Amino acid sequence: MRALDRLALILGLGFLYAPILILVVYSFNASALVTVWGGFSTRWYGVLVADVPLREAAGVSLAVALASAALATVFGTLAALALDRGGRFAGRRLFTGLIYAPLVMPEVITGLSLLLLFVGFGLDRGLLTLVVAHATLGLGFVAVIVGARLRGLDRSLEEAAADLGAHPGRVFATVTLPLIAPSLAAAFLLAFTLSLDDLVIASFVSGPGATTLPMRLYSQVRLGVNPEINAASTLLVGTVTALVLTASWLTGRKGVA
Amino acid sequence: MRRLLPVLPALWLAAFVLLPVILTLKISLSTPATAQPPYLPVLDWSAGIEGWGSFLEALDFTNFETLAGDALYRDAALSSLTLAAIATAILALIGTPIALAMARAPERWQPLLVALLIVPFWTSFLIRIYAWIAILKPEGLLSAGLIRLGLISQPLEILNTQGAVLIGLTYAYLPFMVLPLYAVLAKLDPRLPEAAADLGAGPVRVFWSVTLPLARPGLSAGALLCFVPMVGEFIIPDLLGGSDTLMLGRVLWSEFFSNRDWPLASAVAILVLVLVVGPLVLFREDEAAAREAGR
Amino acid sequence: MASTHGPDPAGLLTCAGLGKRFGAHAALADLDLTLQAGEFVCLLGPSGCGKSTLLRLIAGFETPSAGTIRLGGADITADPPHRRPVNMMFQSYALFPHMSVAANIAYGLSGLRRAARQARVDELLRLVRLDGFGPRPPDTLSGGQRQRVALARALARSPRVLLLDEPLGALDRALREETQGELRALQRRLGTGFIVVTHDPAEALALADRIGVMDRGRLVQIGDGASLYERPANRFVAGLLGDVNLIPGRVSARDPAGLARLDTALGPLRAGGAAEGEGIIALRPERIALARVPSEDGPDLAGQVVETTFLGDRIRIQVRLADGTVWRVSAPTDADAPAVGETVHLSYPPERAWLMPAEA
């Protein structure tokens, strides 16, 4: 490997990881001053465990993430199937645009516009509106991941199943679904992570009693650097890392792009 | 059966993507009010056609006139575009060597490198930006480190400047630039740069005349994926930019949450959409041209 | 373009002791090869035999683990590809998709002034009979036309040696045979040294002055087509260049003419070749004569016809001999072919059979 390439990778990955590592290291800092090292301690994890509002917020986030990821996976997979198998249908271009729009649309716009929708139809803001908003955000990502797998699928496998007498429902259940299963799992995990991570959209569409973990963290971060947040971040980073590694293992295992 | 496939997702997307944007457009033409909901007019369904008539009459462009007339909003729009453009350029400059190095790495390393790039990308955005506060603040790690090295004597005043916002944007969006570039470069036939070298081109000419032109779809996709969300970015200017940095996402946020001016916030949202439609159209044309050339 | 160098006794291009390892895998081991000026050499072998690696070493895309490469006396082993007076025509051509045909051909001519470059491109387009195709993008061309663009691009810099990696591999059969003749004629006219990598023995025989047969990273044998066909170094070479009957045996004596006498399962048989001890006789099907009566001299090789196959220009007859082995005999189609089940007597001129060492 060329020396310049190696340098680019080391600098690039160093840039990406250094802030996270600093955060993790300082979560074990005995001192309350974030920039002064006062020796190793787990005291901030103790503070974290005792922080009831933060724990409640984490519970809300997990529940919302599970529900919205499940919805996103179902609808995103249907959308991917529609694009891959639906042939030509009226409004196909608009449909494609609507799938991709939440992927690039600035979050403030997604959040504000969904809020205006919920208010306009007199829906009370809370868990339900959060789930719907996050499912909409995740849907596009699911459609992209599952769509890539569907395009890479060897069509002759499904044709073989049909040739052997399986009706379309059985072909889907016994051939298509098992083949795209790893990408479904990966897509679910990514939708879950996105929901868990979102601050902006949640701030718009959630109501009293539905404060998510990022919302709670944000209100503390605004007050300045705080070691308890470092501890919370470390746990969050650890969870997300585990999820991403699982997802990439699942996709990599079956040769999914 | 096959015909019915798009129905459910299409209904969902129409209800939760298309309709909200249309509503935002409508409310951007409304007037703020101290009511619930806090804007006027509200369509009176019971009044039938006449209700529609008075409803449409009450809509106007006041909010957009406010946006155009007030230097605050003009500056915010300008600095959103400028910062997003500079950050995109920086990302292209530092993302290309990284993507190139990944694509040229031994094949069995590549999935690992991609995973390494993705892990922070899915790690809480808020927390990754928060991490930079501790690094950039005057008594933070960067200043402390540089002072210890004797490179500077006074703490750096980076936090709460546009420089900090640029660092944050570059940091947060790096994977969005590198991944599409890598995807194109990894698929590039390795014989093409070899053929160029074989025909006498040195490494620099190989890069400019063969690798870069062929990587262009990846570069423009990466630029799009970074530029568009950056224009509406909220967390980064809010946490790193201080009160001096006005970006549209932040203006929208404060109009909505602090001033409770929903119509003006909607107008800002529409403005952001209009500003990012340009790059989107350019990208599509570029993509179409690339497809044309690659056919 | 004429070479500025005169004839070189050491050869134009010399690879000495060349080796290449990829981790634990030896892609190429201890290879010696000399290309004379104006010579056309084919490297023939199955995929993975190291022939493409050798080409990439000569072009400079890989650095050898051992050995040297010299061109016209100068050591070029450490030179990067863009400084070597050697050019490559890539497998499936590697034409730059974002440049026109003319820009592809002109790519290597950046040292020339615009007018000279234009003139050279026109000259090359004429050479490969693609006049007027300059402005076209490569992917609007047919396979044969793209092949000729790739050839023109590789020739643009008047390389001392042109390396061609499966140059005709992407063409259909009819076009391939026609192009073989063109390639051969072009090489004669230019006098450039050509090294062609191919897995097709017929192509190697049709093109090359000399064929180097490669197997598992080694150059097994190099020579002109006839000598490889008639006097293969081992059973791999024998089998690669055409159908062959292999008869194992042991050398027991030599007659005054130098022919070896072997004890085989079919009794004593004779063959040319210097091998000693355990050996294998390579006997081409078309060297075997087939008769309904035993031959006057030589051993009586009687057998039963088990199958006849009409192949157009000849008939292949399979005969089971006394020891149970089946020999393939090739007979002209006008011959009075025996029927299946008929007993026939086989004979061959012993100087047309070739004795190879048993190992390998």
Separation in Å, CA of C311 to nearest CA in chain B: 40
In chain B, residues with a C-beta closer than 8 Å to the C-beta of A12 are 94, 97-98, 101, 174, 178
For residue C326, pLDDT over 80 is answered with: yes
**Closest chain A residue to the Cα of B172, Cα to Cα:** A16
State which amino acid sits at residue B161: T
| Residue C37: pLDDT over 50 | yes
Tell me how far apart the alpha carbons of residues C259 and C271 are, in angstroms, rounded to a whole number: 6
**pLDDT tens digits, residue range C262-282?**
999 998 999 998 888 899 999
Contact residues, chain B, for A75 at CB < 8 Å: 8-9, 12
What percent of chain C stands above pLDDT 70? 96
**Domains delineated in chain B:** 1-60 (no CATH), 71-293 (1.10.3720.10)
Residue A253 has pLDDT above 60, yes or no: no
Q: What is the mean pLDDT of residues A153-182?
A: 86
Predicted confidence (pLDDT) at residue C201 exceeds the cutoff of 70 = yes
Q: How confident is the model at residue C9 (pLDDT cuts 50, 70, 90)?
A: low
Contacts 24+ apart (CB under 8 A), B153-161: B159/B133, B159/B240, B159/B242, B160/B240, B160/B241, B160/B242, B160/B243, B160/B244, B160/B245, B161/B241, B161/B242, B161/B244, B161/B245
Say whether A109 and B232 touch across the interface (CB within 8 A): yes
C175 and C194 belong to one structural domain: yes
User: Are C197 and C253 part of one and the same domain?
Assistant: no
What pLDDT sits at residue B295? 42
- The ipTM of this complex is 0.86
pLDDT of residue A252: 61
Picking from C64, C354, C93, the residue whose alpha carbon sits closest to that of residue C234 is C354
Chain B CB contacts of C153 below 8 Å: 195, 199
Q: Record the tokens describing residue B36, joined without a space.
A: 């619930």
Write down which residue in C238, C261, C282 finishes a domain.
C238
Place of tokens 């993975």: C48
Which residues of C lie inside 8 Å of B (Cβ-Cβ)? 59-61, 80-83, 86-88, 90-92, 94, 96-98, 107-108, 110-111, 137, 139, 153-154, 156-157
Place of tokens 């390389």: C159
Closest C-alpha to C97, from B218, B193, B285? B193
Cross-strand bridge partners of residue A38: none
**Between chains, do B122 and A217 touch, taking CB under 8 Å as contact?**
no
Q: How far apart are the first and last CA of chain B?
A: 34
Can you read off the two tokens belonging to residue C185? 């004629």
What DSSP designation does B66 have? Answer: H
- pLDDT-derived band at A243, boundaries 50, 70, 90: confident
Nearest C-alpha neighbor of C10 from the set C73, C68, C59: C73
Measured CA to CA, the distance from residue A109 to residue A125 in angstroms comes to: 17
Chain B neighbors of A112, CB-CB under 8 A: 24, 252, 256, 265-266, 269
Per-residue model confidence (pLDDT) at position C258: 84
- 8 Å CB contact between B60 and B29: yes
Residue B42 has a pLDDT of: 75
C216 and C308 both lie in a single domain: no
Residues C286 and C142 in one domain: no
pLDDT beyond 90 at C312: no
Do residue C92 and residue C223 come from a single domain?
A: yes
**Residues C336, C357 contacting (CB under 8 angstroms):** no
- The single-letter code of the amino acid at B176 is F
- pLDDT of C175 > 70? The answer is yes
Mean pLDDT score, A63-75: 96
Which pLDDT score is estimated for B1? Answer: 56
Is A186 in contact with A256 (CB distance < 8 Å)? Answer: yes
What residues make up the domain containing C289? 244-357
Round to whole Å and give the CA distance between C265 and C283. Answer: 15
**Contact yes or no for A16 and B141 at CB 8 A:** no
| B229 cis-preceded (ω within 30 degrees of 0) | no
Q: What is the pLDDT of residue C3?
A: 40
Least confident of A253-257, C113-117, C184-188: A253-257
pLDDT at A167: 83
Q: Does residue A255 or residue C223 have the better pLDDT?
A: C223
Residue C335, domain CATH: 2.40.50.140
Nearest to C94 among B191, B206, B295 (CB): B191
Q: Over chain C, what is the mean pLDDT?
A: 91
- The total of structural domains in chain C comes to 2
Q: Are residues C12 and C97 in the same domain?
A: yes
Q: Which of C198, C222, C238 is the last residue of a domain?
A: C238
Please give the residue of chain B at the shortest CA–CA distance from A224.
Answer: B133
| Alpha-helical regions (H) of C156-172 | none
* Partners of C182 in beta bridges: none
| Segment holding C187, helix H or strand E | helix C173-190
Instruction: Give the side-chain half-sphere CA count within 13 A for C324.
Output: 0
**Which of A7, A88, A108 would best serve as a mutation to test chain B binding (most B beta carbons within 10 A)?**
A108
Band (pLDDT 50/70/90 cuts) for residue C101 is very high
Beta strand B31-32 pairing with B39-40: antiparallel
Is the CB of B141 less than 8 angstroms away from the CB of A89? no
Q: What pLDDT does residue B199 have?
A: 94
For residues C328 and C318, is the Cβ–Cβ distance under 8 A? Answer: yes
pLDDT in tens, chain B (295 residues): 567 778 889 999 999 999 999 999 989 988 888 777 788 777 766 767 777 777 777 788 888 988 888 888 999 999 999 999 999 999 999 999 999 999 999 988 888 888 888 888 767 888 889 899 888 988 888 888 888 888 888 888 888 899 999 999 999 999 999 999 999 999 999 999 999 999 999 999 999 999 999 999 899 889 988 998 899 899 999 999 988 788 999 999 999 998 889 999 999 999 998 888 777 777 777 777 766 654 4
DSSP code of residue C164: E
pLDDT at A256: 39
Question: What is the CATH number for C160?
Answer: 3.40.50.300
Whether C9 and C81 share a structural domain: yes
In this complex, does chain C touch chain B, defined as having at least 3 beta-carbon pairs under 8 Å apart? yes
C210 Cβ contact list (under 8 Å, min separation 6): C39, C40, C41, C42, C222, C223, C224
pLDDT for A89 beyond 80: no
Choose the closest CB to A200 out of B116, B131, B235: B235
Averaged pLDDT, A170-176: 87
| DSSP label at residue B2 | G
Residues C129 and C91 in one domain: yes
Nearest to C150 by CA among C191, C183, C115: C183
Instruction: Give the position of tokens 């539905």.
Output: A210
- Judged against a pLDDT cut of 60, whether residue C81 lies above it is answered with yes
Residues C158 and C299 in one domain: no
Query: Is the pLDDT higher at C54 or at C299?
Result: C54
Measured between beta carbons, the chain B residues lying within 8 angstroms of A79 are: 6, 9, 13
- Which whole number is the average pLDDT over A82-90? 79
Spatial separation of the C-alpha atoms in residues C346 and C301, rounded to whole Å: 5
Closest CA–CA distance from residue B188 to any residue of chain C (Å): 11
Regarding whether C335 and C310 lie in a shared domain, the answer is yes
Query: Please, what sign has the CA dihedral across residues B265, B270, B273, B274?
Result: negative
- Is the Cβ pair A112, B115 closer than 8 Å? no
User: A169 vs A173, A174, B2, B5, B17, CA distance in Å?
Assistant: 6, 9, 11, 13, 30
Given C223, C238, C253, the domain boundary residue is: C238
Give the 3-state secondary structure of C31-42.
EEEEECCCCEEE
Q: With contact defined as beta carbons under 8 Å apart, do C70 and C54 qualify?
A: no
Residues C27 and C157 in one domain: yes
Give kind and range of the element (H or E) at residue C58. helix C51-59
Alpha carbons within 13 angstroms on the beta-carbon side of residue C308 total 19
Sign of the torsion formed by the C-alpha atoms of C23, C26, C30 and C31: negative
Tokens of B176: 């969005």
Q: Kindly state whether residues C209 and C114 are assigned to the same domain.
A: yes
Q: What token pair was written down for A237?
A: 């980073």
Cis-peptide, bond into residue A214, ω within 30° of zero: no
